[in-house]
Amino acid sequence: MSCEQQTPTTHARGIDVSRWQGEIDWRRVASAGVTHAIVKMTEGGTYTDPRFAANFAGMLAHGLTAGVYHYFRALSSTPGEQLANIRQRLCEANFEVGKHILAIDVETSRNETASPDQMADALHELVTLLSTQVLDGAHPYIYTSPSIWADRVAWRKYDFSPCPLWIANWDAKQPTVPETWSSHGKSWHCWQHSSKGQVDGIQGAVDLDWIKR
């Protein structure tokens, strides 16, 4: 595995993938020292990543600590529709609450017309639905970048700090933790530190993550 930075020994090596990585040889990925992987599962109220089932099964078969992420849509699908899509795919996969990660991917792409208030309102409703109806009271991870969270989400409206933070902060010595979490004395759980990783078993670039043990 080739990384732009040296991985601290206190952190586990992880990647996150989607259909853009094509067919992945998970045996080789595991042999390369990757111990955690998060795969795109769903987006909005209807879309499922076409590589999800194969990727999730491959991760589990080769002993990786597995997770899934849902790409959040603030306007084109209601939180209830997104919940239904997520639940259906989780039921079809061998997903175990309390063992596997479920994350919400909060980005601006395909959310360009949503206001910060609309982003926060829909995200809070989806977090609440997932916590109460899927995760047995636990909270989904939130994936975001410092700038998107600060500028595109009205984060002061709600307390999102119970959601473990998966921060995207590429090529930084240390990631910037948004005030939502830092003001509560919390830090990141996952750090996506590069989008240009090279990992045996994957053709082309892949996102690299450090996971706190």
Q: Is residue 107 part of a domain?
A: yes
Number of domains, the chain: 1
Q: Is residue 46 part of a domain?
A: yes
Q: Is residue 6 part of a domain?
A: no
Residue-by-residue pLDDT tens, the chain, 213 positions: 334 444 566 899 999 999 999 999 999 999 999 999 999 999 999 999 999 999 999 999 999 999 999 999 999 999 999 999 999 999 999 899 999 999 999 999 999 999 999 999 999 999 999 999 999 999 999 999 999 999 999 999 999 999 999 999 998 999 999 999 999 999 999 999 999 999 999 999 999 999 998
Q: Domain range for residue 27?
A: 11-212
Q: Is residue 136 part of a domain?
A: yes
Report d(CA 8, CA 83) in Å as an integer.
36
Total length of the chain: 213
pLDDT for the residue numbered 213: 83
Report d(CA 92, CA 164) in Å as an integer.
25
In 8-86, where do the E strands start and end? 11-17, 36-43, 47-48, 65-71
Quote the pTM value.
Answer: 0.94
Q: Is residue 1 part of a domain?
A: no
The domain spanning residue 178 has which CATH number?
3.20.20.80
